[in-house]
C-alpha cells in the first residue's frame, strides 16, 4: 500500500522500469500503477525471486510455489522484458510465454586497471602497518629511492580477491580448502608465491566463515575480510592478480556481477561452474572454470607457478581481456534498450 501510494504521487511516467528480483510485491504494484498512469511496464529480469526463496525454504515449500505462480502471472503482464542471459531469455519464453531481450550486465566506466601510483596509495591506506622501517613500502609496492617512482616490490606476494554477500549460494569452504592445498604445495617445495587473499563484502554468513578462517594457521597465506569504501573496491580489483568467484546461481540462469566488474578491470577469474557461466567466462581465454576445491587448487598452482617473473596463462588472460574492448554499461544500454523506447514513440 505504501509503495503504491508513493508511485501514484509521482509525475506521470511514460515507462516504469522494474528490476526483478525483488518482485514481491513490486511487480503487481508497478502493474497497477501502470494501469493508473497508462504507462508501459518494463521488467528487467536478473533472476527468479522464487528460486532465491527456495534456497532457504526448499523448492517445494508452499510459499515458494505461490511466489513462482505470482512471478509468472504478473511477469506476463509487462509490456517489455529485459534479461541478463540468453539462457534466461529462452527459459522466460518456454516456461512463462514471455518475450525478452538479452541485456548483458556491463561494468561501469570506473572499473578499470589501476595505475601503479594509485595502487601504492591504496595499499598504504589499507595497510594496518608499514612493511619494515620504510613507511613508503607496502607488501606489494615501494617508492624507488633513486627517482621517487613507485615500483613493485621484489618477491611480492600474489593478490587474490573475491567478493561476496556471504549468503547460501556461495560456498566459501571451497576456496578455503583450495588454499589449504596451495599451502601444502609450497611446503612440498613447489615454487609458488605467498598469497594475500582479500574477501570483501558483508552478509549473514560472514561471522561463520570468519570463524573457519581463524582456525586456519597458514605460513604463506594471509586472508583478510575487509569492508571496503565504495571508491576503493574498483581500485582494489584493478590492482589484483586474480579474481575468484564462488557464486552459484539459484536459478542457473543469471551471471555474477562481480565477474563482470573484474573483467572491466582486466582481471582474470577462476569461477565455479554452473549452467550458463560460459556466456561470460570463456574457459582458457579470459579465465578458468572449476567444479571443486581440488580443481581450484590445481588452477592456482598452474597460474602462480614462477610468479611474478614468468609470463604464463595469467598474463595471456589479461592480454585477451584488454584486447576484447568490451562495451561499458551506458554503451550497452544505448545499443540494446534505447530501441525499445523508440518503438513506442
Q: Examine the pLDDT at 325 and tell me if it is beyond 90.
A: no
pLDDT in tens, 180-210: 999 999 999 999 999 999 999 888 888 999 9
Indicate whether 168 pLDDT > 80. no
Mean pLDDT score of the chain:
91
Residue 163 has pLDDT above 60, yes or no: yes
State how far the Cα of 195 lies from the Cα of 205, in Å rounded to an integer. 23
Tell me how far the alpha carbon of residue 176 is from its chain's centroid: 18
- For the segment 248-277, what is each residue's pLDDT rounded down to a tens digit? 888 989 999 999 999 999 999 999 999 899
Cβ–Cβ < 8 Å for 163, 200: yes
How far is residue 123's CA from residue 156's CA, in Å, rounded to a whole number?
13
- Give the range among 122-136, 209-223, 314-328 with minimum mean pLDDT: 122-136
In which band, very low, low, confident or very high, does the pLDDT at 328 lie, cut at 50, 70 and 90? Answer: confident
pLDDT greater than 90 at residue 137: no
For 51-110, what is each residue's pLDDT tens digit? 999 988 988 999 999 999 999 998 999 999 999 999 999 999 999 999 999 999 999 899
- Lowest mean pLDDT across 14-23, 150-159, 162-171, 177-186: 162-171
pLDDT band at 246 (very low <50, low <70, confident <90, very high): very high
Cell numbers placing 53: 526463496
pLDDT over 90 for what percent of the chain? 71
| pLDDT in the model for residue 135 | 62
| pLDDT at residue 321 tops 70 | yes
Which burial class, exposed, middle or buried, applies to 132 when counting CB atoms under 10 A from its CB (0-12, 13-18, 19+)?
A: exposed
- Report pLDDT for 130: 54
For residues 224 and 200, give the distance between their C-alpha atoms in angstroms, rounded to a whole number: 8
Amino acid at each position: 500500500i505504501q509503495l503504491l501510494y508513493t508511485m501514484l504521487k509521482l509525475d506521470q511516467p511514460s515507462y516504469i522500469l522494474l528490476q526483478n528480483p525483488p518482485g514481491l510485491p513490486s511487480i503487481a504494484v508497478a502493474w497497477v500503477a501502470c494501469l493508473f498512469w497508462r504507462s508501459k511496464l518494463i521488467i528487467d529480469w536478473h533472476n527468479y525471486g522464487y528460486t532465491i526463496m527456495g534456497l532457504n525454504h526448499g523448492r517445494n515449500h508452499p510459499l515458494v510455489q505461490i511466489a513462482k505462480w505470482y512471478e509468472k502471472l504478473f511477469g506476463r503482464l509487462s509490456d517489455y522484458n529485459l534479461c541478463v542471459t540468453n539462457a534466461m531469455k529462452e527459459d522466460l519464453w518456454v516456461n512463462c510465454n514471455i518475450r525478452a531481450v538479452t541485456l548483458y550486465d556491463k561494468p561501469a566506466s570506473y572499473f578499470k586497471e589501476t595505475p601503479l601510483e594509485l595502487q601504492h596509495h591504496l595499499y598504504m591506506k589499507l595497510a594496518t602497518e608499514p612493511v619494515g622501517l620504510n613507511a613508503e613500502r607496502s607488501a606489494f609496492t615501494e617508492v624507488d629511492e633513486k627517482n621517487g617512482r613507485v615500483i613493485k616490490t621484489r618477491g611480492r606476494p600474489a593478490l587474490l580477491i573475491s567478493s561476496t554477500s556471504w549468503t547460501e549460494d556461495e560456498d566459501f569452504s571451497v576456496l578455503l580448502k583450495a588454499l589449504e592445498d596451495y599451502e601444502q604445495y609450497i611446503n612440498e617445495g613447489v615454487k609458488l608465491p605467498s598469497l594475500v587473499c582479500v574477501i570483501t563484502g558483508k552478509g549473514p554468513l560472514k561471522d561463520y566463515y570468519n570463524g573457519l578462517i581463524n582456525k586456519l594457521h597458514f605460513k604463506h597465506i594471509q586472508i583478510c575480510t575487509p569492508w571496503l569504501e565504495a571508491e576503493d573496491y574498483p581500485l582494489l580489483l584493478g590492482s589484483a592478480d586474480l579474481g575468484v568467484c564462488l557464486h552459484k546461481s539459484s536459478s542457473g540462469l543469471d551471471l555474477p556481477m562481480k565477474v563482470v566488474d573484474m573483467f572491466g578491470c582486466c582481471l582474470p577469474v577462476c569461477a565455479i561452474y554452473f549452467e550458463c557461466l560460459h556466456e561470460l567466462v570463456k574457459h582458457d581465454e579470459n579465465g578458468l572454470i572449476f567444479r571443486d576445491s581440488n580443481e581450484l587448487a590445481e588452477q592456482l598452482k598452474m597460474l602462480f607457478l614462477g610468479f611474478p617473473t614468468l609470463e604464463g596463462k595469467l598474463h595471456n588472460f589479461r592480454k585477451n581481456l584488454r584486447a576484447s574492448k568490451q562495451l561499458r554499461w551506458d554503451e550497452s544500454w544505448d545499443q540494446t534498450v534505447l530501441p525499445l523506447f523508440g518503438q513506442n514513440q
